[in-house]
């Protein structure tokens, strides 16, 4: 490969990673701003907006722009499996958004970093798959770090913490379920096609929940828009950003190595924490930061142990 082509490829990868970081951190901070600072206390409706955007933009990207080839659902059983995944996915996203009403982004990210712990637990319970003992040892600092961070968190909120743990567990459950339910070659879907089918199901699941639990949310949103039109632009931008999180994640996975993705993923949470503290100026303690750092170190060790056991 020529030097200009190499430089162009490197520049493309840097642009992708920047877009991935920006969309991930952007949607997280916007969710926090809307649900906590702005006072838009409708996390289920917000999640439904996200899923609606993902449904429309996924179709545009796959059917019209041919970003990836369209994969079809081949049976009713496969569709039911996707619906089950969508239900868990909804639970994870809604719970994560609700937790942002009560917890600062920095602590939310610390709890979210324990996903590998829940993944290992669910994998063992549901598939009886055992990892090497060293892999389980690396999970000790992951959990210990969050316990320390919880004790040192100035803005700790018990309900928010429980919901955030539930969201993290649901995220891990979806990963394990996806591996079990869509394991056969005929049923495997890439992440973009999976989103294409999961997002509309999520909208159908969230609509009655929104109508029942967040009464007259559409009327309230329109009334807010009459006083401040920026709420509509914030919701539209936030929803589009939620789709680009998935798109950029897919593209970064495709264009980088597993090791690069692992390093970038671990760094992303830390960057989100620093930016959120700078923007929202939520109080942090030395104990909380040490706890979060211990969790991140545990996640890195866990990833390294998993990689070594595969080789």
Q: Note the pLDDT of residue 132.
A: 86
Mean pLDDT across the stretch 21-41?
Answer: 94
Nearest CA-CA partner of 108 in 32, 191, 178: 32
Q: Is the model more confident about 179 or about 34?
A: 34
Q: Is the model more confident about 107 or about 304?
A: 107
The number of beta carbons lying within 10 Å of the beta carbon of residue 48 is: 25
Across 125-129, 168-172, 231-235, least confident range: 125-129
Read off the tokens for 29.
Answer: 């901070």
Nearest CA-CA partner of 58 in 254, 245, 261, 265: 245
User: For the chain, what percent of residues have pLDDT higher than 90?
Assistant: 72
Could you read off the pLDDT of 281-293 as tens digits, one per residue? 888 899 999 999 9
263 band by pLDDT with thresholds 50, 70 and 90: confident
- Check if the beta carbon of residue 92 is closer than 8 Å to that of residue 167: yes
Q: Note the pLDDT of residue 311.
A: 62
Across 6-20, 78-92, 223-237, least confident range: 6-20
- Check if the beta carbon of residue 69 is closer than 8 Å to that of residue 192: no
Nearest CA-CA partner of 112 in 126, 95, 129: 95
pTM: 0.91
Tell me how far apart the 2 most distant CA atoms of the chain are, in Å. Answer: 60
d(CA 285, CA 282): 10
């Amino acid at each position: 490969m020529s030097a200009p082509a190499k430089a162009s490829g490197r520049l493309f990868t840097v642009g992708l990673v920047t877009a991935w970081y920006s969309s991930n951190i952007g949607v997280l901070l916007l969710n926090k701003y809307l649900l906590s600072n702005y006072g838009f206390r409708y996390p289920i409706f917000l999640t439904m907006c996200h899923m609606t955007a993902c449904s429309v933009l996924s179709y545009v990207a796959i059917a019209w722009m041919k970003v990836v080839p369209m994969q079809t659902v081949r049976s009713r059983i496969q569709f039911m499996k996707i619906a089950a995944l969508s239900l868990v996915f909804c639970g994870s996203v809604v719970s994560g958004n609700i937790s942002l009403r009560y917890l600062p982004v920095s602590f939310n990210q610390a709890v979210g970093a324990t996903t590998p712990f829940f993944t290992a637990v669910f994998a063992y319970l549901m598939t009886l798959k055992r990892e090497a003992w060293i892999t389980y040892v690396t999970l000790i600092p992951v959990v210990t770090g969050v316990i320390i961070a919880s004790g040192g968190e100035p803005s700790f909120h018990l309900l928010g913490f429980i919901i955030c743990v539930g969201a993290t567990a649901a995220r891990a459950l979806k990963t394990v379920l996806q591996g079990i339910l869509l394991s056969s070659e005929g049923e495997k879907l890439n992440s973009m096609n999976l989103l294409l089918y999961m997002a509309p199901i999520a909208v159908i699941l969230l609509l009655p929940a929104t109508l029942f639990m967040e009464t007259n949310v559409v009327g309230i949103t329109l009334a807010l828009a009459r006083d401040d039109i920026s709420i509509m632009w914030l919701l539209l931008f936030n929803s589009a950003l939620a789709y680009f999180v998935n798109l950029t994640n897919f593209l970064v996975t495709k264009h980088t190595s597993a090791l690069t993705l692992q390093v970038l993923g671990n760094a992303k949470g830390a960057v989100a924490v620093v930016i959120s503290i700078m923007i929202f100026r939520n109080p942090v303690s030395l104990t909380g930061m040490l706890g979060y750092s211990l969790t991140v170190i545990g996640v890195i060790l866990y990833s390294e142990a998993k990689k070594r056991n595969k080789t």
